[in-house]
Structure 1
Amino acid sequence: MADKANTHPGAAGRAATADRPSDVRNVVLVGPSGSGKTTLVEALALTAGAVNRAGRVEDGTCVSDYDDIERRRQRSVQLSLVPVDWGGCKINLLDTPGYADFVGELRAGLRAADAALFVVSAADGVDGATRAVWEECAAVGMPRAIVVTHLEAARADFEETTRVCAEAFGGDDPDAVLPLYLPLHGERTPDGHSPVTGLIGLLSQRIHAYASGALEESPPDAGQVPGLQEARGRLIEGIIAESEDETLMDRYLGGEEIDFKTLVDDLERAVARGTFHPVLAAAPAPEGARQGIGTVELLELVTGGFPTPLEREAPTVTTPDGAPRTIPVCDPDGPLVAEVVKTASDPYVGRVSLVRVFSGTLRPDETVHVSGHGLTDRGHEDHDVDERVGALSVPFGKQQRPLSHCIAGDLACVAKLGRAETGDTISAKDDPLLMAPWEMPDPLLPLAIQAHSKADEDKLSQGLARLAAEDPTMRLEQNPDTHQVVLWCLGEAHADVALERLSARYGVQVDVVPHKVSLRETFADRAAGRGRHVKQSGGHGQYAICEIEVEPLPNGSGIEFVDKVVGGSVPRQFIPSVEKGVRAQAAKGVAAGYPLIDVRVTLLDGKAHSVDSSDAAFQTAGALALREAAADATIHLLEPVSEVQVLVSDDFVGAVMSDLSGRRGRVVGTEQAPGGRTLVRAEVPEIEIGRYAVDLRSLSHGTARFSRSYARHEPMPAHIGERIREQAADTA
């Protein structure tokens, strides 16, 4: 990082390219919704010369949030790439959504990047949603710098925001979060606000002023020196300590003046280790200025103080059958290993895959191997196929600017990989490899849908398959019990975007219907039944009589069939027929149309005819016998019960436990978790937690998350069971 202005004019009108991994910086912008990430991306692109003052490229579209859905919602809902040139480096800026429903896009951005700009609004401070995003970055060890935005807002305070960030993100080390620049304030306005007019560089000890319309540097005034020196000393000590450069610390404490380049090298080392997080300020440009305040400084930090792709090891790599492989770190001449971090569909080009190359060099028109595994439960079939790469390009708004190649460490869009899905690995045809996937969030909000018309029904399966290929955080379920098509989503906004994409992008109209859970039936006590199927109509008739006894079994026993016929009253060849009829009727249900489970059916007696008895007749008699036994017995409806684990801030534990009790849940235990949180374990009927993903977020102000897993089926309360029986009778 050079702590001075760079007047590089950028690369407007052409694709940014890189021929060496050391000349690439992959930077993801993360932060809560509304913190200003997209605005900052556009300001950085403007400063680098990639867009005009309106944040638009030549075709008039915005450089980010150009998708129709994003424009309508005025919110980022997907990962977007904006490449720019600065100081001889290609910077891939990855803009991510901040809303919790799109955390899958955030994780894809973290996978593709080597460092992050963590954006915090001075107007909003650090809340639960901000901490949740920070934890996402920390979980993957992502190096981060913090950018404080919205300093133009009333009561915005950079120093206070920095202090809060240090408390929230610094852990036990308050010097892990320190400002690299301090804002320079202008005259106070009538409303009491002092606008930011420039920055004070602590390492360079220079004033960066923007009042003239362009960045100008000057030495500090005498009155600014004491505060600057105090903040600078703490910053230098923090950088040296977090970089663990003990020899440099000894020199500094001994009174030696450390040169600027050495400090910058140590800064890069501390940031790359993920232990030091410099804080910078970003503010709108003064009237007439060509650059936003802080954008030059951010670009300089990225090019000089952020790690290159050479400093990041690739995720675990194996052959498709699981044998471990070692690949060189970011070698353009190494074996090809790339990963699809995002999939989109273009109405003209078809499927477009955003790819991060970890090893080797990707070129257009070559045949590659595409491997994808591990997400079959979400509608993604395992596949190992060879495909021909189409054109390589980089996006600028809706434009795709061609690339001749994409080296290790860089990002590119690849056209016409028809089978590639998000999370897939691209490797050489003769050396297929597979990268360990990043962790996908578990979708926990069910959305049951059905085609709006016959025409939509014909297109539904293809539309859903494309939707699943784009978004691995969505799980597609064809429920065999309820016969519903269910999209499992991360939240309401995620569900709304999925439906909008089905309609706008794939031309499929669907209706949302109430989601059904997989209920079961069982006998409450012992019962007997007699099935008589006798028909004589001249010629060959049908004759079968059987008598059964039904008794309940413990949970999880399934259906047992026992033969206790004596004396040959039911011929041996027809006993399997009775069992087949009983099991077929059990699958259909005996009370409300749900499968019967956990009973023992005993065949006691029966009658047969030497001519008219048949396999079909005894199947029918077995089914009739089970229905008659059910008619005189108490039938329990069984509902699925889930084991639920809720990780919640201590402040909301009481509210969460009370809410679970209101859902007929049983809290079975709690335990303390790191970070002032509690893990609450409970057993809750699934029918009560259909919208829990939404309700919990509201209840905990976005600080809680939960997981669920099937535990068992157990009898539901009589009044609820009766209501369901009545509903089943009404629809029969």
Structure 2
Amino acid sequence: MPSRSNGPAADMQAVRTLALVGAAAAGKTSLAEALLYKAGAIKACGNIERGSTVSDHDPLERRMLHSLNASVMHLTHAGTRIHLIDTPGGVDFLGQSLPALEAVETVAVVINAATGIEPMAVRMMAYAASRQLARMIIVTKIDAQGVSLAGLLADIQATFGRECLPLNLPDAINRQVVDCFFNRFGRSDFGPVEAAHRALVEQVVEVDAAFVDRYLEEGDVDPAELHAPLEQALREGHLIPVCFVSSRSGAGVAELLDVIVKLLPDPTEANPPSFMVGEGADAQPMQARPDPSLHVLAHVFKVTVDPYGGKMGIFRVHQGTVTRDSQLYIGDGRKPFKVGHLFMLQGKDHLEVARAVPGDIVAVAKVDDIHFDAVLHDAAEDNHVHLAPLAFPVPVYGLAVEPKRHGDEQRAWEILGKLAAEDPCLRIEHVAATNETVLYGLGELHLRVALDRLREVYHFEVRTRPLSIA
């Protein structure tokens, strides 16, 4: 897929990171396509049914017409690099969705206007809040027949709080959305824009007493002066912006890009990631600083394994600068590896770059020892640095697995291990009491997809059966 990238942004204030989360069929993948197209990162919008989207590039995803993996993309808008992660919406694939939260400043909960708020949206909103990430809501398919957007906004506020306020409002007559943060004039499907503008300004100034006094005295504050309190409101969860968009018609897409660039936090403005030093009860908080001149701290939030090309680790840089010549340690490993080739990803396509600064999401390939949740660093004193662990659901749905061909037991174990390396919610175990190899996952669909991958990617056939009772 063609890309107009010309290397990572040198200025952290010109980097944004955004994870698209929410239920299956919320419109995340189509929204990613619309954003990439509008920003000029792709020549045309792909189509899920035709299997031509940037993010759903896995053959299984194209066959099932649903995202199964977290997919990393990037684009540039108004001189700002935006890293996007499209995540699966099924609960069986939380092992792909949750780690994306570790790589971004902002989590965008995507809600389909036609289906409303679904349990996955509630779940991901709670996860994002627990990691102290900025949150926003993007309502898609606003031009669907028979939807009540005003009713949906009321549902959103009832479910997630009155701090959920629209940054723009739909205008069906003109097939567009109307900004209500920088603009206070005009009408929308919800009525006059001024009421929404006042609600936003009042919510933002509440975090700063000086602006409260000015607002009470003058009746309004120029939104251009509210950047610092707006970022504070986002950090503290005092404001959860709501944006409206139609990926099909393009309504609201350009406006959403502007919101991402102008209003969402950059790496210097967000709450710092939850790094820790030490293990167990002795672990102490440590704050990474988004400074490119410091020693490197980066976190591997996704691993892919190619049957022929080996492992690829996808990581977010939190501190320092990674270059092709960087020598990086993996966790407490004693031997560093040389980066050699550093990539930005556009779905399945790799674009080689010279360096990555705090905020950038990049990848290294053919590093055998790299693994999920590893901290990459270039200083010996960081050997015991790690991120506070994510609360993954426990994989309890199990099947006994055995190779169809006698004598392939060791190979089966190795390939299952590669699948588990890509998904922290897959677990393999040998049960000595029954002499069974057991594959555990989050549900029947989760294991079915894993076994399909075993067959289609690794060309390895197995038999499965329910677990024996020891």
TM above 0.5, yes or no, is yes
Residue 337 (str. 1) matches residue 300 (str. 2):
no
> Which residue of the partner structure matches residue 171 of structure 2?
184
What is the distance in 2 between the residues matched to 1:226 and 1:325? 48
| Structure 2 SS opposite 1:454 | coil
> Which residue of the partner structure matches residue 205 of structure 2?
240
**Counterpart residue type for residue 299 of structure 1:** L
Please tell me the root mean square deviation across aligned C-alpha atoms, in Å.
2.5
Could you give the per-residue CA deviations for residues 539-570 of structure 1, whole angstroms, max 9, x where no partner exists? xxxxxxxxxxxxxxxxxxxxxxxxxxxxxxxx
Structure 1 residue 154: Cα displacement: 1.7
Match for residue 267 of structure 1 among 227, 230, 235: 230
Q: 1:249 to 1:29 in 2, by over 3 A?
A: same
What is the distance in 2 between the residues matched to 1:205 and 1:330? 32
Q: What is the 5 A alignment of 1:54-453?
A: 54-55=45-46, 62-170=53-161, 174=162, 176-186=163-173, 197-205=175-183, 220=186, 227-241=192-206, 244-284=207-247, 286=249, 292-310=250-268, 311-318=270-277, 324=284, 326=286, 328-347=288-307, 349-371=309-331, 385-428=335-378, 430-431=380-381, 432-436=383-387, 437-453=389-405
Q: 1:370 to 1:504 in 2, by over 3 A?
A: same
What is the distance in 2 between the residues matched to 1:488 and 1:239? 46
Could you give the per-residue CA deviations for residues 501-551 of structure 1, whole angstroms, max 9, x where no partner exists? 222222321111121233xxxxxxxxxxxxxxxxxxxxxxxxxxxxxxxxx
**Counterpart residue type for residue 434 of structure 1:** V
What is the distance in 2 between the residues matched to 1:411 and 1:337? 13
Q: 1:107 to 1:224 in 2, by over 3 A?
A: closer
1:27–1:117 contact (8 Å) kept in structure 2 = yes
1:202–1:231 contact (8 Å) kept in structure 2 = yes
What is the distance in 2 between the residues matched to 1:268 and 1:238? 12
| Structure 2 SS opposite 1:309 | coil
Structure 1 residue 386: Cα displacement: 3.4
> Which residue of the partner structure matches residue 453 of structure 2?
501
What is the distance in 2 between the residues matched to 1:365 and 1:203? 45
Q: 1:493 to 1:390 in 2, by over 3 A?
A: farther
What is the distance in 2 between the residues matched to 1:501 and 1:224? 47
Structure 1 residue 435: Cα displacement: 0.7
| Structure 2 SS opposite 1:49 | coil
Bigger shift: residues 401-410 or 346-355: 346-355
What is the distance in 1 between the residues matched to 2:222 and 2:235? 20
Q: 1:424 to 1:111 in 2, by over 3 A?
A: same
2:31–2:247 contact (8 Å) kept in structure 1 = no
Structure 1 residue 69: Cα displacement: 1.4
Structure 1 residue 93: Cα displacement: 0.5
Structure 1 residues not aligned, in runs of 5+ = 1-10, 187-195, 207-218, 287-291, 373-382, 519-732
Identity over aligned pairs, percent: 29
Q: What is the 5 A alignment of 1:673-684?
A: none
What is the distance in 2 between the residues matched to 1:255 and 1:474? 58
2:289–2:319 contact (8 Å) kept in structure 1 = yes
| Structure 2 SS opposite 1:312 | coil
Structure 2 residues not aligned, in runs of 5+ = none
Normalising by structure 2, we get a TM-score of 0.91
Bigger shift: residues 435-444 or 224-233: 224-233
| Structure 2 SS opposite 1:90 | strand
Q: 1:384 to 1:341 in 2, by over 3 A?
A: farther
> Which residue of the partner structure matches residue 485 of structure 1?
437
Structure 1 residue 262: Cα displacement: 1.6
What is the distance in 1 between the residues matched to 2:183 and 2:288? 41
1:27–1:115 contact (8 Å) kept in structure 2 = yes
Structure 1 residue 15: Cα displacement: 4.7
Structure 1 residue 61: Cα displacement: 5.2
**Counterpart residue type for residue 276 of structure 1:** L
**Counterpart residue type for residue 227 of structure 1:** P
Normalising by structure 1, we get a TM-score of 0.60
What is the distance in 2 between the residues matched to 1:93 and 1:492? 29
What is the distance in 2 between the residues matched to 1:31 and 1:384? 40
**Counterpart residue type for residue 414 of structure 2:** Q
Could you give the per-residue CA deviations for residues 403-436 of structure 1, whole angstroms, max 9, x where no partner exists? 1111122110111211111111211264434313
What is the distance in 2 between the residues matched to 1:413 and 1:178? 36
